[in-house]
Structure 1
């Protein structure tokens, strides 16, 4: 890749279209260009990169990585700027980011974003959701938006309604009533665009002439899940918005879904889990909400229903507030914060459920064996760590090696 200045000049016309307002000076494109590049190089929530950006700025950090600096130079540059980073952190980071330097993907990605009418927001824009600043070094580098770009800028209160994909009739009924009631009260309904609880929250908000926002785990050029393409298109073309932190052309993976959850929690004034099993991804969202000091609510269900076991755990063990209707949820959002919920946002099990393990497994196929270099490039995990993870997964019988390539077992 070129320098950030070179990329901004080369793609000036396309990049200008992506910004929320008219660009008259090339210098106005340097910051967004750098953040798009960094979003290509790193996985969401990369704290080491976040620390580099905090002291060097996005342009400085991006130019340093595009120059393919050494780990020693990376450590020294950050040290001179006031941020201490260990040689191992620098070395691991560079091994994650360097294989992703790809000018062709950058060009395709911004071109596709322009074709679908997306806009790119960065911290400092008037439309940027203020709550995302609280993620600190794990804050998104930028947000890709289709629809109303200022929907989370603070004009209306917002509340996240999340829950199981495999929702029961009970869960969908409670969600529909809650979303309609909150929409009538002027709340922006935030969710993840998935099947089940998410979809019902979005659909009911639209039917109530309310405003709803969907955060996706993949690029917003191709809506996912495919069965919700019509729903997500309606959100983007109505008074709402569809957002993602990853560039167009990026596929949704388990790791990106888990990282996406922190955005749902941070962008909302409160989070309510309406129905969730013990291993539901919405429990991860609840952990992020409480770690940020945001109010957390849970809707009780039948004590015999596994679909509500996660909600009952939140109520029993983690002091979530019991809420049963829109009025109580609205009161939760505008009241005081809930008690701290520790462990749920980072309570990983074995290597297959560790952050690196999830990312490596995401990129393994059950049909096509992949070489180590390809897994490193696709996962954004350093090669030494990928080899370690693969070794553990092979010992657990989750993956198998065939002639130097790796395959995920169908029964894993």
Structure 2
């Protein structure tokens, strides 16, 4: 069944995976009791009226010939991967927020056995046809987030996704100045701690995770094969569909819900008015996750989607990793440091004092009467104001009257 096939997921919830498969493999055209239970589950999930068990069985049964779990598990073992199911202790609990739409399993390829907790995962997504501005921003944000011990999650696609992955990988390596590709061991094998292609195996959480729309045995798109292979060696590549599954438009859209669910914050760097990245943002919003959007030029079509999110109030404006980390943190955590700005001369002055300060000449002294005319204030107000300005070091009294204090 396809990802997020709600009748199928409801059937598994009612019968369990083994009995659900047995029912599909049987010759039964329907089952009234099972159909009633599935209907109740779908109603609780708020799903629209479905066509019934008989119809979905005829939709699933033609695919039985392609069901080969032993083959899929053998392929995963060859790739040094593992299969995660909800009963595993390492199953990401954040996916439970998808409720009935949660995946049945996750096929994982990589050296890292655990997907970090939701609080430590940030999604960085955007357009495939990015600008140089978007590329630089996504790489800088991803790199800085990894330095702050976050894991960057994206979809492995061209454009912003790829730059986010590269930024995360470069930060995890750049801390020691190590090259992306480590040299082979002199014996021709791997040096201790190196992955299958000579990469150093990092400790702790993966710097980045790619969530695929197809099987983890096929790196798609092919132009990102080297990048995805590096992610599998340095981080983690996951999918909810078994090996050998081709990516389709529907699977891409359903994949976006996993990215949103796994992360505490989804950051959209660049997106057109209609973009798959907005689909991820909408999934995040529906799951009560925070969404950040990077503003761009008002003349750039690649930022129209980000501006749309900001205009509709669906996203918070973010400009760097500090802003994103502050969104991801709890109360008082990861607070961005405000830049230090020297106070201006007029800071804290009232309206009358500002008028008086503007009326004071810089070079020659002037009288109280002239100040009253220029500032448009009464004599009493001018005298009181001059006293305050003198105390602040902004005005000085001379023989011929008053002038503004000279600043060296």
Shared fold (TM-score, shorter chain, > 0.5): yes
Once the two structures are superposed, residues 70-118 of structure 1 have per-residue CA deviations (whole angstroms, 9 ceiling, x without a partner) of 23x1x42253689367782323321221111115654543332232222
Residue of structure 2 equivalent to 1:234: 230
Does the CA-based 8 Å contact 1:271-1:294 persist in structure 2? yes
Structure 2 matches for 1:3-402, cutoff 5 A?
A: 42-71=1-30, 73=31, 75-79=32-36, 83=40, 88-102=51-65, 105-154=68-117, 157-209=120-172, 211-238=207-234, 240-335=235-330
Does the CA-based 8 Å contact 1:148-1:241 persist in structure 2? yes
CA gap 1:104/1:155 in 2 versus in 1, 3 angstroms:
closer
- C-alpha distance in structure 2 between counterparts of 1:248 and 1:260, whole Å: 15
Residue of structure 1 equivalent to 2:336: none
315-324 vs 190-199, which moves further = 315-324
Structure 1 residue 228: deviation in Å?
A: 1.2
Q: Secondary structure at the match of 1:159?
A: strand
**TM-score, with normalisation over the residues of structure 2?**
0.68
- C-alpha distance in structure 1 between counterparts of 2:224 and 2:252, whole Å: 16
- C-alpha distance in structure 2 between counterparts of 1:108 and 1:62, whole Å: 17
CA gap 1:46/1:155 in 2 versus in 1, 3 angstroms:
closer
Once the two structures are superposed, residues 114-141 of structure 1 have per-residue CA deviations (whole angstroms, 9 ceiling, x without a partner) of 3222211000212111111111111111
Structure 1 residue 64: deviation in Å?
A: 1.5
Does the CA-based 8 Å contact 1:68-1:98 persist in structure 2? no
Structure 1 residue 183: deviation in Å?
A: 0.6
- C-alpha distance in structure 2 between counterparts of 1:131 and 1:68, whole Å: 37
- C-alpha distance in structure 2 between counterparts of 1:263 and 1:84, whole Å: 21
Once the two structures are superposed, residues 305-341 of structure 1 have per-residue CA deviations (whole angstroms, 9 ceiling, x without a partner) of 00000001011024311111100011112258xxxxx
Structure 1 residue 193: deviation in Å?
A: 0.5
Q: In the comparison of the two structures, how many residue pairs are matched?
A: 292
- C-alpha distance in structure 1 between counterparts of 2:86 and 2:35, whole Å: 21
Once the two structures are superposed, residues 208-250 of structure 1 have per-residue CA deviations (whole angstroms, 9 ceiling, x without a partner) of 1171000000011111111111111111112x10000111111
- C-alpha distance in structure 2 between counterparts of 1:169 and 1:62, whole Å: 49
Structure number with higher helix proportion: 1
- C-alpha distance in structure 2 between counterparts of 1:248 and 1:61, whole Å: 21
Q: Secondary structure at the match of 2:40?
A: coil
- C-alpha distance in structure 1 between counterparts of 2:216 and 2:118, whole Å: 24
CA gap 1:83/1:57 in 2 versus in 1, 3 angstroms:
farther
- C-alpha distance in structure 1 between counterparts of 2:55 and 2:99, whole Å: 21
- C-alpha distance in structure 2 between counterparts of 1:96 and 1:121, whole Å: 26
CA gap 1:303/1:81 in 2 versus in 1, 3 angstroms:
closer
Residue of structure 2 equivalent to 1:21: none
- C-alpha distance in structure 2 between counterparts of 1:155 and 1:52, whole Å: 28
CA gap 1:151/1:319 in 2 versus in 1, 3 angstroms:
same
Does the CA-based 8 Å contact 2:94-2:117 persist in structure 1? no
- C-alpha distance in structure 1 between counterparts of 2:38 and 2:267, whole Å: 41
Q: Secondary structure at the match of 2:107?
A: strand
CA gap 1:104/1:154 in 2 versus in 1, 3 angstroms:
closer
Higher Rg of the two aligned structures: 2
Where in structure 1 are there 5+ consecutive unaligned residues? 1-41, 337-412
RMSD of equivalent CA atoms: 2.1
Residue of structure 2 equivalent to 1:10: none
Where in structure 2 are there 5+ consecutive unaligned residues? 43-48, 173-205, 332-408
122-131 vs 253-262, which moves further = 122-131
Structure 1 residue 68: deviation in Å?
A: 4.0
- C-alpha distance in structure 2 between counterparts of 1:278 and 1:82, whole Å: 37
